[in-house]
Amino acid sequence: MDLSSIRKLITRYCTGEESWVDSRTVYIGQKEPPPGTEAYIPQRFPDNRIVSSKYTFWNFIPKNLFEQFRRIANFYFLIIFLVQLIIDTPTSPTTSGLPLFFVITVTAIKQGYEDWIRHKADNAINQCPVHIIQHGKVVRKQSQKLRVGDIVQVKENETFPCDLILLSTSREDGTCFVTTASLDGESSHKTYYAVQDTKAFNTAEEVDTLHATIECEQPQPDLYKFVGRINIYLDRDEPIVRPLGSENLLLRGATLKNTEYIHAVAIYTGMETKMALNYQSKSQKRSAVEKSMNAYLIVYLCILISKALINTVLKYAWQANPNRDEPWYNQKTETERQRHVLIRAFTDFLAFMVLFNYIIPVSMYVTVEMQKFLGSYFILWDDDMFDEELGEGPLVNTSDLNEELGQVEYVFTDKTGTLTENNMELRECCVDGHVYVPHAICNGQILPGATGMDMIDSSPGVDGKEREELFFRALCLCHTVQVKEEETVDGIKRGIHQGKSTSFYISSSPDEVALVEGMKRLGFTYLRLKDSHMEILNREDEMERFELLEVLNFDSVRRRMSVIVRSSSGDYYLFCKGADSSVFPRVVSGKVEQVRARVEHNAVEGLRTLCVAYKKLTHEEYEETCHLLNRAKLALQDRDKKLAEAYDVIEKDFILLGATAVEDRLQDKAADTIESLHKAGMKVWVLTGDKMETAAATCYASKLFHRNTQILELTTKRTEEQSLHDVLFDLSRTVLRQHGSMTRDTFSGLSGDYQDYGLIIDGATLSAVLKPTQEVTSNGGNYKEIFLEICRNCSAVLCCRMAPLQKAQIVKMIKASKERPITLAIGDGANDVSMILEAHVGIGIMGKEGRQAARNSDYAITKFKHLKKMLLVHGHYYYIRIAELVQYFFYKNVCFIFPQFLYQFFCGFSQQPLYDTAYLTLYNISFTSLPILLYSLMEQHINMDILKRDPTLYRDIAKNSLLRWPTFIYWTFLGVFDAVVFFFGAFFLFDNTTFTSNGQLMATNTQMMFGNWTFGTLVFTVLVFTVTLKLALDTHYWTWINHFVIWGSLLFYVIFSLLWGGIIWPFLNYQRMYYVFMQMLSSGPAWLSIILLIIVSLLPDVVKKVLCRALWPTTTERIQNADKLYKGHLSEFTPLSSLHAPPVRKHDRHGNENQNRTHRRSDSSPPKKLMCTYWGGRPDYCTFSSFLRIGENPRFSGPAYAYSTPGPETSV
């Protein structure tokens, strides 16, 4: 037996039958089929319980512990704790066990509480009552007891308990209306259809008589795809077979509307429903900060091992002299003397590892988790990002990537619904070259009496009139729009016109609604779909009825949709509408050139264009078409492929009628947001499925491209004229001619000395570029590398005609490039999900294309403009906060442990701890934890308004600048310096000692009892105060909470030390700290020494900051200084350009200095600022000399020094 057979058997018997069978058979009503029809093979299916919880009562402790100890830091501390239990170590196991227990317990409580909430939610759903038909009666059961094959009755406004196939409804036509807002966010009513042969079974008794089976695919998560067929057994031998598709499938979580009741059969239950499959966890994304933390952790682990190794070697070197083998009071036992030297050395090595293990900050991980979780609420609470129209604010689906918002280098955005409003309005129709626009316009004036939409050129003839009306009928019939009467949606009454109840249109596509409403203005009104007949009202107010025979639904591959209808006269028509690229190749007659010219003109104007065509069918052609479609619809395997082949055969030989142009307005402040992202150093790419001209017009309107941007095209049209190889090398030479080997990443986005390039590429060319099998070019690179090099030197890129998978490929390609940039993808539709999941940070927009993108994203916002604040403010704050948190944690642990390392040189490497057990345990848990947590939540180093006004400040934190190795090394050396000051400063205080009358050793210069615990307590006191005050010096944004926590932490340390050493605790066997702290504080010189050592420890960092701010200030530091100078009102009136670092003077090709960008101090007339103020409600313009003088550096302190000042006066 081969391995594959064994694997199949294991899969079959371990995971159930359904997981390896391609399809399942469902017996409706749990009834066996009539004898002789087919073999009855009952299959096992899961019950209808929904389980979103992670743990049960029995497995919580082992499963949670297993997951927590998979983290390296937790596992490391567990090993240290076990070592302390097994061997004789210098510190108590409590010192490692208690912090580890605290971290594990806090995390377990948090995860247990979250899981308890999930259990409650699951129980509420699982115990919800449902109505099931059994033996001709309606029986009430709990939802969790529902089984596959049960017939369910659902009433209006009830939610479907599982995935159901619709059998019958209370409506005569067998339709029902459903809202799927909880699944995809679309609040519009969607129409679903009962099986034609079962829609007459309206009562429970009738439904119970139904004998049928359903064959369908196994569960899969695609909400919009379903393949199956139903076999209905009547009196005859052969069953009636009907196809089942997504239009027959009612999904769990959707709600029944405008329908009294329905009967449906359960086919997917419990965790096999599409909703449950869609809520599976996504792949874990890790931020750049987390990767830096892990790298630093490895460095500190190496330092720890080095310390332990050095001390072990030096201990045996020290003890090589027999006189110094062991102190007289600590003679070795005979057992120890007989042990092998390597075993003793290894034991000592482990003991030193335990002694120094606190250099690895275990509490940092729990602090970072708390900071991310609590910090995410600042996005949720941001009123500026709340949308009044939707009544919703931003969502945070994961808080693990907060700081990544401050590191974005590439932004990939969708166009429709993201940059634009996805609010369509019909602007123009072109019928056989005759153009119609809203109102008739002549010489820029609206003609009197022009109502609705009128022609702007000559009237068509008689034939033209017929074609015109056929065009209007085509748009009234070729759609999936639903007609609704007045209803209340989100508290707003729709369908009210001048106080009268009227109908309104709803569709999943805003384009279709715009077209149908446009036709209504032209005199052709779509009324309703009734009894499979579409009713329209023509210009003469006569009702026309067309029988709807077939709908060839729209899909993103074909980019068109068609309907087949029969008129009242018996004529068959196939109407088609779609993108010009998918319709023009299938047209055989019509005024193609005139329509094509108009389509191209409208695309350049940024309008969305659709072409409309038709053909008449004979009865024989219709019969052949039906046969072709039915054969494809009944297929269980590759149904989509077979349908696509059938559509390709049917949709051809069209007669072109005309085209439409729909406007999709740009979102509010979209252009401002893109401009700000550019200034912040981010590159913005637009990835869209629209045609090139439409997308390019939107890019110009949104300021992605500027008028001086040189557009480079890498499109199919150009590659048809030249080979792809030649086009790529031409573009490469163009962008590198001026830049040389440098890329635009080197330059500031504000500089005007370099040509701006914008690249446009289409999907077909991208596929050719990304083909894996490519020959290597003569210069050693392939097409992909050349393409990346071109993109790096372009300020903006537009990718049009993109398939959803291609969007993800683009993002993946940029992620994998040699710079490894941080990417962000933003979109609003299901076609953007793959791109959102692929990017480092995915942002979904809660738009009109549903909530698929928002549901699969890391963050969700309501409008594109909110991206500006999310990145430039929240992202900036998150990054600087967590960067300080990480560096500070390592710094304070170096300060904590390095004195312990130095102490071993003075105690014969005997592994004697410097600090008391309580101090070792509580240092990271209590004494120093809260101040840094609060800092990482509330710090604002620059005013929020300034960050929004000056996007270039984002560049200061780009490329993980605050967590680079030089910064890490500086913090580490600062910790070592402070530790040396603590240790030797305290050591020299005990330099001169003498014995007192009662035999105690007294330090003569401080009048303190000399002892190792007094010495260690002094060092620890200086340590706690220094690291806390260091954080206070780094804090720019002070509130009463900061004061309370920082000074409260110091006060808590003092009170704890007094209580710990001032009371005889009954649960302690010995109390080595008794009266030590109080005796130390009773010495006046000790107080002075503590203050002096704190000042000396903090001095280098303070001096370094003062010098850097005075001599080499960054833009951030300039703004901080100015903000303090003007008491926080800088953002109200100061021109921020004057605070930027001065540009480096450049030389032109002839060696002349380029001086037109900076203003000289020697100018006779100092430049002025022009400020507009409002006094008494009217504007007043006044000129004033510059008020800003930062430092004494002559380069920056001249009057009104301003960056890039073109003239003596600057308007503010």
Region of residue 676 (left: phi > 0; alpha: psi -120 to 50; beta: else): alpha
784 is in an annotated binding site: no
Q: How far apart are CA 931 and CA 1025, in angstroms?
A: 12
Distance, CA of 898 to chain centre: 41
Catalytic residues: 414
Which residue carries 């590398």 as its tokens?
Answer: 785
Tokens of 1024: 């706690």
Report which of 919, 982, 739, 870 is spatially closest to residue 408, judged by C-alpha positions. Answer: 870
Q: Is 992 annotated as a binding residue?
A: no
831 marked as part of a ligand binding site = yes
Signed CA dihedral, 1172, 1177, 1178, 1180: sign only: negative
**Known binder of ligand: residue 150?**
no
Neighbours of 832 (CB within 10 A): 32
**What type of residue is 727?**
V
Distance CA 407, CA 292 (A): 13
Rounded-to-integer distance, Cα 569 and Cα 565, Å = 11
List for the chain the helix, strand, coil content (%; round to 5).
45, 20, 35
415 in a labelled binding site: yes
Give the ranges where 562-638 is alpha helix by DSSP (H): 580-583, 592-604, 619-633
- Pairing label, strands 683-687, 796-800: parallel
Q: Are 225 and 163 in contact (CB under 8 A)?
A: no
Q: Is 225 annotated as a binding residue?
A: no
Q: Which of 928, 729, 909, 853 is nearest to 327 (CA)?
A: 909
Q: Using a CB cutoff of 8 Å and minimum separation of 24, what contacts does 581-585 make?
A: 581/691, 581/801, 582/558, 583/611, 583/612, 583/613, 583/654, 583/656, 584/611, 584/656
Asked whether residue 554 is marked as a ligand-binding residue, the answer is: yes
Q: What's the CA angle centered on 14, arms 10 and 15, to 5 degrees?
A: 110
582-589 contacts, C-beta under 8 A, 24 or more apart: 582/558, 583/611, 583/612, 583/613, 583/654, 583/656, 584/611, 584/656, 586/613, 586/651, 586/652, 586/653, 586/654, 587/613, 587/654, 587/655, 587/656, 588/653, 588/654, 588/655, 589/655, 589/656
Residue that is written with structure tokens 């720019």 in the block:
1036
Q: Is there a binding annotation on residue 689?
A: yes
Was 1121 annotated as part of a binding site?
A: no
**Token digits for 116?**
């308890």
Burial class (CB in 10 A: 0-12, 13-18, 19+), 62: exposed
What tokens were used for 801?
């005609």
Q: CA-CA distance, 853 to 829, in Å (whole number)?
A: 5
Name the residue among 464, 586, 27, 52 with its Cα closest to residue 280: 52
State how far the alpha carbon of 180 is from the alpha carbons of 256, 639, 965, 1146, in Å: 9, 25, 51, 61
Q: Is 577 annotated as a binding residue?
A: yes
**Is 718 known to sit in a ligand binding site?**
no
* Calpha distance 571→67 (Å, rounded): 68
CB within 8 Å of 107: residues ≥ 6 apart: 68, 366, 369
Q: What is the CB neighbour count within 10 angstroms for residue 479? A: 25
Q: Is 713 annotated as a binding residue?
A: no
The answer to the question of whether 512 is labelled as a binding residue is yes
Instruction: Please give the helix or strand (H or E) that residue 734 lies within, else none.
Output: helix 724-739
CB atoms closer than 10 angstroms to residue 623:
12
Is 807 among the annotated ligand-binding positions? Answer: yes
Helices (H), 319-444: 334-338, 341-356, 362-375, 377-380
What's the rounded Cα separation, in Å, for the pair 1072 and 498?
89
Is 114 among the annotated ligand-binding positions? no
Could you tell me which residues are annotated as the binding site for ATP?
414-416, 512, 554, 577, 608, 688-690, 801, 807, 831-832
Could you tell me which residues are annotated as the binding site?
414-416, 512, 554, 577, 608, 688-690, 801, 807, 828, 831-832
Could you tell me which residues are annotated as the binding site for Mg(2+)?
414, 416, 828, 832
